[in-house]
Amino acid sequence: MQALSHRFTWLLIGGCLAMTGCASTSGGNPLDPFEATNRRIDAFNDSVDQAVLRPVAKTYFDYTPTLLQTTVQNFFGNLRDVWSVVNNGLQLKPKETVETGVRVAVNSVVGLYGLLDVGTPLGLQKHPADFGQTLGYWGMPAGPYVVLPLMGPSTVRDAAASLVDSQGDPWGYINPVASRNQGTVLRLVDKRAQYLGLDNRLNEMVLDKYSFVRDAYLQKRRAQVRRGPPTDAEDEQENFDRPDKK
């Protein structure tokens, strides 16, 4: 269930690009051979979002104290940093691995299990990394673009890697299961609340939101993988803040 948050992350990326004056039009894309099916799944995801997630997230955003929302974001962000340490290590990036590891240690101890972000004021930057990025860094092509039910934008590589990412998420080992599920729901709702109003802005600014989010996702993933010299596979593939309440 927590994987739904990935959908809103890439929606945010698309919105940021839109607000810089980009435009997007529909058209065939060789990286999206399953476009017809992807669009149907995307429409289903949108319907679930509008019927369930968005109303719940808006209620949460409107009535939950900002300090509490920030605490929730800090806590789950610290958990994500744990997995980032592993993937930065797998990518043989010592600076990112050490800095992220120290950040996790400081936030977990001094920051009360990550509830407080002590690392950022100390200059310890985040270096997000996931297993899909690790595979791409070592040369695995992304493969075709796909839209996953409830999860949103992905590629064949990233979809497969998400299974490993789910196993690397420390929250997945919390017991009892009831507490884990409650925290997962809170994590998802808080993530969605951060992007309220963004979908409306995209609808107003771009001609085809599906194509725009797809292109933004693929561009962002290439940039994340390229935290080092670009690979031949990446070169070949290329040839083909918080919003207001609404």
**pLDDT(197) > 90:** no
* pLDDT of res. 206: 81
Element (H, E) at 153: strand 152-155
Residue 230 has a pLDDT of: 43
- What's the pLDDT score for residue 227? 66
| Nearest partner of 135 among 219, 233, 61, judged by Cα | 233
Q: Is residue 76 a part of any domain in this protein?
A: yes
Inside any domain, residue 211 = yes
In a domain, 62, yes or no: yes
Secondary structure (DSSP) of 79-94: HHHHHHHHHHHHTT-H
Higher pLDDT, 20 or 94: 94
- Angle, helices 35-48/209-225, rounded to nearest 10 degrees: 100
Averaged pLDDT, 89-96: 96
Total structural domains within the chain? 1
| Among 20, 81, 75, residue whose Cα is nearest residue 241 | 20
pLDDT of residue 233: 42
Name the residue with tokens 């605490």. 71
Q: Residue 105: pLDDT above 60?
A: yes
How high does pLDDT run on average in the chain?
A: 84
* Any domain includes 39: no
CA-wise closest residue to 73 among 48, 97, 107:
107
**30 within domain boundaries:** no
H-type alpha helices, 64-138: 66-90, 94-109, 131-137
The answer to whether residue 121 sits within a structural domain is yes
* pLDDT > 90? residue 134: yes
Looking at per-residue confidence, does 47 or 226 come out higher?
47
Q: Tens digit of pLDDT for each residue in 2-50?
A: 445 455 444 444 443 443 334 344 457 899 999 999 999 999 999 999 9
Domain that includes residue 137, residue range: 2-21+48-239
Q: Which residues contact 227 (CB under 8 A, 6 or more apart)?
A: 91, 93, 96, 137
Determine, yes or no, domain membership for 26. Answer: no
Measured CA to CA, the distance from residue 49 to residue 61 in angstroms comes to 15
CB 161 within 8 A of CB 131: yes
Higher pLDDT, 245 or 217: 217
Q: How far is CA 90 from the centre of its chain?
A: 20
**pLDDT higher than threshold 80 for residue 95:** yes
Q: Taking each helix axis from N to C terminus, what angle separates 66-90 and 156-168, rounded to the nearest 10 degrees? A: 110
User: Which tokens belong to 113?
Assistant: 């299990």
| pLDDT given for residue 37 in this prediction | 97
Using only C-alpha atoms, the chain has a radius of gyration, in whole angstroms, of 18
**What pLDDT is stored for residue 109 in this prediction?**
96
* Tokens matching residue 238: 């290329």
User: Does 93 have pLDDT greater than 60?
Assistant: yes
| Any domain includes 228 | yes
State the pLDDT at residue 3. Answer: 46
Record the pTM.
Answer: 0.78
Q: What is the pLDDT of residues 138-160, one digit of tens each?
A: 999 999 999 999 999 999 999 99
pLDDT band with cut points at 50, 70 and 90 for residue 204: confident
- Give long-range contacts, CB 8 A cutoff, 24+ apart: 26-31: 26/207, 26/208, 26/210, 26/211, 27/211, 29/145, 29/211, 29/214, 29/215, 29/240, 30/240, 31/142, 31/144, 31/145, 31/218, 31/237, 31/240
